[in-house]
Amino acid sequence: MRTVQLKTETALNPGRMDEFDDLIRLLNDHRRDDSLETQQLAIFIALSCMGNNHLWQDMMLPNRETLSRLMTTHFPALAAKNIGDMKWKKFFYRQLCERENILICKSPSCGICTDYEKCFGPET
C-alpha cells in the first residue's frame, strides 16, 4: 500500500470519535483478511469519511471506480451489500443506522424515494 498524506480538513474531530470507531467496526467486521494492508485501509477509509467531499475524493483517489475496486478487494462482503451502487459514505452510514435499527430513509424502497439522486446519482 502506498503512503498517502491526509489533507488537513480530513483530520479527525475529537467529537466524532464514536462515529470513527463505528466505521472501523463496520469495516473490520467485513474485511477479507487480517493483513496489515487491510487494517490500515480500514483506518484510512474511516478517517476519510470525516471529510467533506465524496469519499473517493477525500481519499485522494482518481475516481469512484478505484474506491469500488478497493472495497471489493479488501471488504468483499460489505461491497456485495451495496447492490444499488449507492455512494459509499451514504452506504456506510446507512449500514451503521441499520445496525442500530434506526430508519433514516423517507421511503420504504430506494426506487421510489424522492432523494434517489442524492444517494445513487453521479459523483462529480
- pLDDT on residue 119: 66
- Nearest residue to 10 via CA among 62, 61, 46, 64: 46
- Nearest residue to 91 via CA among 74, 79, 102, 107: 79
- pLDDT on residue 22: 94
pLDDT profile of the chain (124 residues), mean per 10: 46 72 97 96 95 93 97 98 91 87 65 67 68
- pLDDT on residue 52: 87
| In the block, residue with C-alpha cell 481519499 | 59
Q: Do residues 81 and 37 make contact, with C-beta atoms less than 8 angstroms apart? A: no
Dihedral of CA atoms 55, 65, 110, 20 in degrees, nearest 10, equals -30
How far apart (Å, rounded) are the C-alpha atoms in residues 46 and 85? 19
